[in-house]
Structure 1
Amino acid sequence: MSMKQLSQEAKQLCRAQHSGVLSTQSTSMPGYPFGSIVPFVITHTGDVIIYISDIALHTRNIKANDKVSLTVFDPSEEDSQSNGRVTIMGDAQLADSPDNAELYFRLFPQAEAYQHTHDFHFYRINVARVRYIGGFGKIHWINPEYWQTEEASWHSQINAMISHMNEDHQDAMQLILRHYANVSSDKVTMISVFSDGAHYCTERRKIVFVPFAGHCDDATAIRKALVSQTNTSREALATAD
């Protein structure tokens, strides 16, 4: 497996989870790491966005030393040593922006209420290196040149793509969730789309990430990936019925 494929696999694992362990350098116990649970999103380019309060210990720690790590793991397996996990190391910087807010609040709409309490701000973790463990014997370091990607022109079309799916392809999204995630819902809403997959929200506010089989470089490739997933889902479910 190439380094590019490993990077995609690691990102897909991260996108499928919604929180991780943020480790910061403790100011009250110098020399010791301080761990806390934080929700996060990964941008199209590979940076990590967190939304944290000025009064939180981890924020105080970041202001004193911006070197952090975020550990994300898949809790689905009973044997934790068999689970996939990713540790992202990098430098955390204040990053309030409309783009970060839009991306974050799509996945965590409840966090919009925090804008008026406790001085919450967005921070971006600029990735220095990634450790990916996909299970026994599958252990890799991923350097930034394989993790980070450039901004692409199709990113400006994302809102239109999401609106199109939500307005015209409800049946397709329901099929995709049933087949790929074993999740049934009378109402499905696409809330994000990336080069490696898409997030969907059910009527009960369950958020599910469905990965693409390969990396998509543009809007046409994403459309083809969604059509392929729909056709595969329809055929598989018809056979099962």
Structure 2
Amino acid sequence: MTMQTLAFEAKQLCRTQHSGVLSTQSTSMPGYPFGSIVPFVTTHTGDVIIYISDIALHTRNIKADSKVSLTVFDPSEDDSQANGRVTIMGDASQLTDDAEIALCSEQYFQLFPQARAYQQTHDFHFYKISVARVRFIGGFGKIHWINPEFWQTESQEWQRNTAGMIEHMNDDHQDAMQLILAHFANVQTSKVTMLSVFAEGAHYQSAEGKIVFIPFANACHSPTEVRQALVAQTKACRDALAETAE
């Protein structure tokens, strides 16, 4: 298995989960790590974005020492030791560029719409964790370090303009998205909204508010490959329905 494949699988796990354990260097207990639960999103290029308050202990710790780690795992699994988890080690810094803030906030608020209310306060800011190294455990015996050159990817033009792709799916392919959510996530709903699309898959939200990430079989590097992946998923759903009906 190549490093690119391992990074692809690790990113899919990160996109499936919406919160992780952020470990910072404690300022009140020097030498000890301080763990806290934070929502996060992973950008197209592999950076991690968190939205945190100035008064939070982890933010104070970051301002004193930017070295952090974020551990991501599936808490619903019975045997956590036998299932996948990812630890992202890196340096956290507050975003100050308006264009970067706008891009990251759009992606973040798509997955965490309730966080928009925090904009009314003046002490919440976006921080980016620039990845130094990743530890990926894909299950028993599948343990790897992933270096930045395999984790980080170059930003592509289509990734900066996914709004049209998402709008098209929401306007014209409601039936296909309902099939995808039912088949791959066992979520039955009267309406589906695509929230985001990445090289690794797409986020959907049901009418009841449940947000689910459905991974692609392979990494997509262009709008054409994304369309092909969605067509393949829809076909798999319809084939499964046909087999059930027989």
TM-score range, shorter chain: over 0.9
TM-score for the superposition, normalised by structure 2:
0.96
Task: Give the conservation status (yes or no) of the 8 Å contact 1:23–1:70.
Answer: yes
- CA offset at residue 240 of structure 1? 2.1
Residue of structure 2 equivalent to 1:134: 138
Amino acid aligned to 1:58: H
Question: 1:53-68 counterparts in 2 under 5 A?
Answer: 53-68=53-68
Structure 1: which 5+ residue stretches go unaligned? Answer: none
Task: Measure the CA separation in 1 of the matches of 2:172 and 2:127.
Answer: 35
SS at match of 1:205: coil
Q: Deviations over 1:13-64 (max 9, x none)?
A: 0100000000000000000000000000000000000000001000000000
Task: Give the conservation status (yes or no) of the 8 Å contact 1:75–1:83.
Answer: no
Residue of structure 1 equivalent to 2:151: 147
Residue of structure 1 equivalent to 2:69: 69
Task: Measure the CA separation in 2 of the matches of 1:156 and 1:95.
Answer: 18
SS at match of 1:132: strand
Task: Give the conservation status (yes or no) of the 8 Å contact 1:14–1:86.
Answer: yes
Residue of structure 1 equivalent to 2:239: 235
Identity %: 71
Residue of structure 1 equivalent to 2:38: 38
Residue of structure 2 equivalent to 1:115: 119
Residue of structure 2 equivalent to 1:2: 2
Task: Measure the CA separation in 2 of the matches of 1:156 and 1:94.
Answer: 21
Task: Measure the CA separation in 1 of the matches of 2:169 and 2:91.
Answer: 36
Residue of structure 1 equivalent to 2:168: 164
- CA offset at residue 237 of structure 1? 2.1
Task: Measure the CA separation in 2 of the matches of 1:240 and 1:16.
Answer: 28
Task: Give the conservation status (yes or no) of the 8 Å contact 1:55–1:118.
Answer: no
Residue of structure 1 equivalent to 2:50: 50
SS at match of 1:12: helix
Task: Measure the CA separation in 2 of the matches of 1:87 and 1:78.
Answer: 19
Amino acid aligned to 2:70: L
Task: Measure the CA separation in 1 of the matches of 2:242 and 2:195.
Answer: 27
Task: Measure the CA separation in 2 of the matches of 1:238 and 1:187.
Answer: 22
1:98 equivalent to 2:102? Answer: yes
Task: Give the conservation status (yes or no) of the 8 Å contact 1:92–1:125.
Answer: yes
Deviation >2 Å, runs of 4+: none
Amino acid aligned to 1:42: T
SS at match of 1:21: strand
Structure 2: which 5+ residue stretches go unaligned? Answer: none
Task: Measure the CA separation in 2 of the matches of 1:179 and 1:195.
Answer: 20
SS at match of 2:161: helix
Question: 1:168-187 counterparts in 2 under 5 A?
Answer: 168-187=172-191
TM-score for the superposition, normalised by structure 1:
0.98
Q: Deviations over 1:148-197 (max 9, x none)?
A: 00010112330000000000000000000111111111010000000010
